[in-house]
Structure 1
Amino acid sequence: MNSKLTDRFSTAMLTTALYIVAFMYLFPILWLLLSSFKPGSELFSYPLTIFPDNPTLDGYAYSWSTMQFIKYFLNTLIVAVVTTVLTVIASATCGFALAKYNYKWLNVFLICMLATTMLPTEVIMNPTFSVILELGLYDSLAGLIIPSINTATGIFMFRQYFMTVPNDLLESARIDGANEGKIFFQLMLPIAKPVVITLAIFSFQWRWNDYIWPLIVLSDPNKYTVQIALRSIIGAENIDWVLLLSSSIISLAPMIIIFIVFQRYIMDTSATSGLKG
């Protein structure tokens, strides 16, 4: 009897702690969302209130008419989609080679590649930017795409998945006359569909939310991504909070849609553990 009471008490305490942590994460987002429906006069009225007294959509209309969202969305979409496609292909081909080709130097390459995951992104930004300058890719969308294609996380995910595929399956395909390209694209890549979808979702998310690298590479306002466009709202002396709040919510809409559509893949902890953008 005491054991049951202890178990119930522990469950109740853990559940309460979970709700508290969830609330701590959700409260800033809820405040942002509700504040976007407030007129400017209510944003800094005292005492502060969570819910708007006079909710309005004027901020969204003002934001859509002021910000060139179509252009910024298009720029960001090009970068995110192209980078995601190339990242999946590059990661899958490299993961396939590491998993199924028996060369000693590949193990050394794998160790060196995994070692890069211990380096903060900021450490490699300076040499990467120097390469971008030398290649003439500064202030271009290609300068955002090319350095972001290879990711050790994606390569490792595919390598681990392909390791589970029996070698006999590949040998049978080779006996039937299939070359390495046909084996990869028609056999291995379809098998790895769960990893393809998972990496594609997170790669798209990483590129959509990327801020530091576009800030360094882009200087032409016509090529700004969504995150850089939001940063341009903040002036040196004043901030248009109504515009910033409503624009931030609009910029989140694609990510919310992706989460709703692909949430079962995003919530798959076995596939997403250890991911690093």
Structure 2
Amino acid sequence: MSAASTPVTDVARASEVSRAGGLPTPNRRRWSVRRVLVLLALVACTVVFIYPFIWLISASFKPRSQVFDNKLIPETFTLQNYVDVWHEAPMALWLFNTVLVTVLAAVTVTISSAMVAWGFSYFRFRGRGFLFGLVLATMMLPGAVTMIPTFLIWDALGQVGTLTPLWAQNLFGSAFYIFLLRQFFLGLPRDPFEAARIDGASHWGIFWRIAMPLTKPAIVVTLLFEFQAAWTDLMRPLIYLRDSSTFTIPRGLKALLDQYGFGGNWHWEIIVTASVITTIPMIVLFFLGQRHFIEGIATTGSKG
């Protein structure tokens, strides 16, 4: 005859059944409910964030009378808006100006900030901490404080009305990017750099051939941050650009809004269509660089 079951054996059997895929234990059930709640919360947040863009895309395929009907599936589907927007505004020229300014701004600020960050992280010199503190202190200055002096400088140089002020000041680096890249440089081992010095490599060679490739994730983060900032910048184009032939996309959208939105013509289908055209490149860029972006954020946050 088999021995009578005891509470201990019952618990053991229940545990084995649970591990074998049988009835879930209360602890396992609790974790499942928690996971479902987390997933539902994430889905809700996702819907909240992407709904405006989905609405924007839907409105771009609607005629003027149906733009604000708040239906995600257009009742009357039309592609005419994407034809009219190129005739109503020089979108191709504005896109070219924006790409030019954005690429120059992103490349110059990345290289200049990386050079400064490398100097603060690699070299040991008296007053290094004080100078780095001064660099960080510049982030405390509101942009409105330096706006007028900066404008006067560019006006004295005869650059008001050109694209130069929109990117050239990035040649001097950015305090935020300097801090971000320095934290990454500090986490790199010094042995490869010292070995390169013994082999006769110059300081520039060490920086460009060794340090920069090792900081690829942080470089990508800097490029994406500045690309997004320059692509969506409206303040500086409003200050420095005068002629529509030099407008960037944000400045052009402001002109379209003044003309077709609040200006009295109420061609909102043109405005939403232009907004879709200018938003898609940033989404594509993020998807192309999201792996490096996430890696750069994670690794930079753990450095220093």
TM-score by length of structure 1 reads: 0.89
1:232 aligns with 2:259: no
Residue 228 of structure 2 corresponds to 205
Residue 252 of structure 1 corresponds to 279
1:143–1:217 Cα contact (<8 Å) kept:
yes
Per-residue deviation at 1:202? 2.0
1:193 aligns with 2:216: yes
1:153 aligns with 2:176: yes
Per-residue deviation at 1:104? 2.9
Residue 105 of structure 1 is aligned with which of 127, 133, 136? 127
Give, in whole Å, the separation in 2 of the partners of 1:74 and 1:100.
39
Larger Rg: 2
Q: Which moves more between the two structures, 25-34 or 121-130? A: 121-130
Unaligned 5+ residue runs, structure 2? 1-24
Give, in whole Å, the separation in 1 of the partners of 2:71 and 2:190.
63
Give, in whole Å, the separation in 1 of the partners of 2:47 and 2:68.
23
User: For residues 174-215 of structure 1, what are the alpha-carbon distances to aligned partners after superposition, in whole Å with 9 as ceiling and x for unaligned?
Assistant: 222222122222222222222222211222121111111211
Give, in whole Å, the separation in 1 of the partners of 2:192 and 2:26.
56
Q: Which moves more between the two structures, 263-272 or 183-192? A: 263-272
2:183–2:300 Cα contact (<8 Å) kept:
no
Unaligned 5+ residue runs, structure 1? none
Residue 14 of structure 1 corresponds to 38
Q: Secondary structure, in 3 states, of the residue corresponding to 2:76?
A: coil
User: For residues 7-59 of structure 1, what are the alpha-carbon distances to aligned partners after superposition, in whole Å with 9 as ceiling and x for unaligned?
Assistant: 222222222222111111111111111011001122245xx433211111100
Instruction: Report the identity percentage.
Output: 30
TM-score by length of structure 2 reads: 0.82
2:121–2:182 Cα contact (<8 Å) kept:
yes
Residue 65 of structure 1 corresponds to 87
Residue 29 of structure 1 corresponds to 53
Give, in whole Å, the separation in 2 of the partners of 1:118 and 1:9.
45
CA RMSD in angstroms, aligned pairs only: 2.0
User: For residues 145-196 of structure 1, what are the alpha-carbon distances to aligned partners after superposition, in whole Å with 9 as ceiling and x for unaligned?
Assistant: 1234421222122212221222232222222222212222222222222222
1:181 aligns with 2:208: no
User: For residues 65-118 of structure 1, what are the alpha-carbon distances to aligned partners after superposition, in whole Å with 9 as ceiling and x for unaligned?
Assistant: 222122111111111111111111101110110001112322112112223334
1:263 aligns with 2:290: yes
- Greater than 6 Å deviation, 4+ residue runs: none
